Structure 1
Amino acid sequence: MRIITWNCNMAFRKKYEQILPYEPDLLIVPECEHPDKFKNKFYNDVLWIGDNKNKGLAVFSFNDFEFAIHESYCESYRYVLPVKVHKDREINLIAVWSQNNKEDPRRRYIGEVWQSLNFYKTMFKSPTIVAGDFNWNVIWDSEHPKYPLHGTLTDVINLLNQFEISSMYHALTKVKFGTERSYTIFQEK
């Protein structure tokens, strides 16, 4: 199964052809407009959540992968979408687009991810993949105050490790979090 995540920085309908050569089975797209704006149906199915029709979180399926929003979905965890995926077997996917929370600054970025993963951790009893745009690095953990119940990326990593869920990037490159030498983000100029 090939899972790709790409924060498209909006206007995905004008950019989607750039990702198709990578042949995703599942594609997680933060900052994606509502699928009603697409002229072409280049995917099998799509799930989308968001408050703004121009900028939400989408998960696309290809190659006959079927999916549905997981029954544990809680709208109060904005832009964290639990999904049940099925083809030959069933797995769970938690799609993430971490962002600022102006109403509750303690839940900004990684704090929201930390809280949502603790809420959804019963899903980890089954095979689960967590992927998306976390908008955070462990080097910022000490720069921002830690509030009770509002964890850091280190807390997120430790939680996932308890369930034997780890970063594919860090496992393949054998690089520790915070010491990445290669860019993990690329932006168009």
Structure 2
Amino acid sequence: MKIITWNCNMAFRKKAEFILTEKPDILIVPECENLERLVFGIGTKQPNDIFWYGNNPHKGIGVFSFGDFKIKLLEIHNPDFKYVLPLSIYNEKINLTVFAIWSQKPKKYDCYTEQVWNAVHFYSNLLDNDNVILAGDFNSNSIWDKPKRVYNHSNLVDYLKGKNIFSTYHHFHNQTQGQEKDNTLFMHRKIERPYHIDFCFASSNLIDKLENVEVGSYEKWTKHSDHKPLTVTLDL
């Protein structure tokens, strides 16, 4: 099973064909236009199921299934955390609890982690399940931690660790938070402004099934987006 998260930097309908060559089973796309505008080109593989959420028709979050998986928004969804979406993604073999994430900055100050921090506490009981995945654009990294701020990135990682949920990239590549060798964002598409802000966290039973975790290259993806896709392959 292959899960990909990729902030497409808008206009996904013009870019879908490129990410679909990676053959995702589940694709999470922050900054995706709504379904009325999302018309795939001729020859582009059609998804089996789609879920879209957002207020701006040009820029929400899309979740796509290209296998036999179905996607359903859980009733517990709290719109206060509008881009931390609790989903059931399931087929006859497995039911995954997937949080599709596009972290937003609060109006009062510059800290993207607050929304995700508050959401994981609100959805705390769901995080105790097996088969939990949190994936998307977190807009955060430990390099921006402020020690006196309880909802900094490192504290979020520690909270998830307490739920037996771990970053697939850091586990697979034996990396330390804030010292990543691969970057998922190049600000304004400039190679001299690299950051690692896109993540896929998974519960320990899924971590044990990891086959590969890969970040797309600057050279291949920069013409399409400032973000690079994060691809996680699981033996399910």
Q: TM-score, normalised by structure 1?
A: 0.90
**Which secondary structure does the structure 1 equivalent of 2:133 belong to?**
strand
Superposition misfits of 4+ residues, deviation over 6 angstroms: none
Give the CA deviation at 1:179: 0.8
Give the CA deviation at 1:31: 0.4
Distance in 2, Cα, partners of 1:61 & 1:92 = 14
Distance in 2, Cα, partners of 1:110 & 1:161 = 16
Distance in 2, Cα, partners of 1:39 & 1:178 = 38
Matches within 5 A, 1:66-77: 66-77=70-81
Give the CA deviation at 1:185: 2.7
**% same residue:** 41
- Matched letter for residue 98 of structure 1: S
Matches within 5 A, 1:21-36: 21-36=21-36
Which of 97, 104, 122 does residue 99 from structure 1 map onto?
Answer: 104
Which of 119, 122, 129 does residue 125 from structure 2 map onto?
Answer: 122
**Which secondary structure does the structure 1 equivalent of 2:122 belong to?**
helix
Distance in 2, Cα, partners of 1:52 & 1:92 = 25
> Is 2:113 the counterpart of 1:110?
yes
Q: Unmatched 5+ residue regions in structure 2?
A: 190-221, 224-236
Deviations 1:12-47 (A, max 9, x none): 000000111111111110000001112237211111
**Which secondary structure does the structure 2 equivalent of 1:52 belong to?**
coil
Q: Which has the higher contact order (CA 8 A, sep 6+)?
A: 2
Give the CA deviation at 1:105: 3.0
Please name the residue that 2:154 is paired with.
154
Distance in 1, Cα, partners of 2:138 & 2:58 = 20
Deviations 1:79-119 (A, max 9, x none): 111101111111100011012222x437x411100000111
Alignment root-mean-square deviation, CA: 1.7
Distance in 1, Cα, partners of 2:52 & 2:120 = 19
Deviations 1:40-79 (A, max 9, x none): 3721111111110000011111111012001210101121
Q: Unmatched 5+ residue regions in structure 1?
A: none
**Which secondary structure does the structure 1 equivalent of 2:55 belong to?**
strand
Distance in 2, Cα, partners of 1:78 & 1:141 = 24
Distance in 2, Cα, partners of 1:10 & 1:39 = 14
> Is 2:139 the counterpart of 1:135?
yes
Distance in 1, Cα, partners of 2:177 & 2:128 = 25
Q: TM-score, normalised by structure 2?
A: 0.73
Which moves more between the two structures, 70-79 or 178-187?
A: 178-187
Give the helix-richer structure, 1 or 2: 1
